[in-house]
Amino acid sequence: MFSGTDYRPTGDRVAIVVSTYNTSITDKLLTGSLQTLESRGFAQADIDVAKVPGAWEIPLAASVMAKSGKYAAVICLGCVIRGETTHDVHINTQVSQTLGNLAMQCQIPVAFGVLTCNTVEQAISRSGGAVGNKGVEAAEAALEMMGLLRNLPQSKP
């Protein structure tokens, strides 16, 4: 059985793309991801953070970083809160599909830490409140997938 729970960094670098829209939420997601990576042995110098205006811009920055070949994973953090229209649905659908496709294309973990909430209260709850911190969870998922990919048999050219 293959697993990635034994992952330890060995010169790997990680990118984090974080939206500055709803910054009171996304700052907490970022802090959670950074603390998780550092607690697992990453130096601050091995983590690059790119700040983008909103969730819509996350995929472009994530794509550039993933395709650079510099990173073993890209962690994507943001917060979209439902409003009076269906705007959130269109953003959430496109962002999630694009990030999923990016992971497949680049063959590296692209962790989805974008909150898709109905209310501000739900976002607060998921950024360090009663439900935990999805930034922590995204970093943990990226680390586990980095380990799993390291342990899986590699395809032959």
Task: Write out the two tokens for 75.
Answer: 């962690």
Which is catalytic among the residues 43, 87, 101, 119? 87
Residue 110 φ then ψ, to 5°:
-120, 95
Give the E-state strand segments of the chain in sequence order: 14-19, 47-52, 73-81, 110-117, 127-129, 132-133
Is 7 labelled a binding residue?
no
87-106 and 58-67 helices, crossing angle to 10°:
10
Is 112 labelled a binding residue?
yes
Is 82 labelled a binding residue?
no
Is 144 labelled a binding residue?
no
Is 121 labelled a binding residue?
no
Residue 21 φ then ψ, to 5°:
-75, 135
Is 55 labelled a binding residue?
yes
Helix boundaries (H) for the chain:
23-39, 58-67, 87-106, 120-126, 134-151
Is 80 labelled a binding residue?
yes
Please indicate whether residue 90 is annotated as part of the active site. no
Is 52 labelled a binding residue?
no
Chain Cα centroid distance, residue 14: 10
| Strand-strand pairing, 73-81 and 110-117 | parallel
Is 56 labelled a binding residue?
yes
Annotated binding site for 5-amino-6-(D-ribitylamino)uracil: 21, 55-57, 79-81, 112
Annotated binding site for (2S)-2-hydroxy-3-oxobutyl phosphate: 84-85, 126
Active site positions, annotated: 87
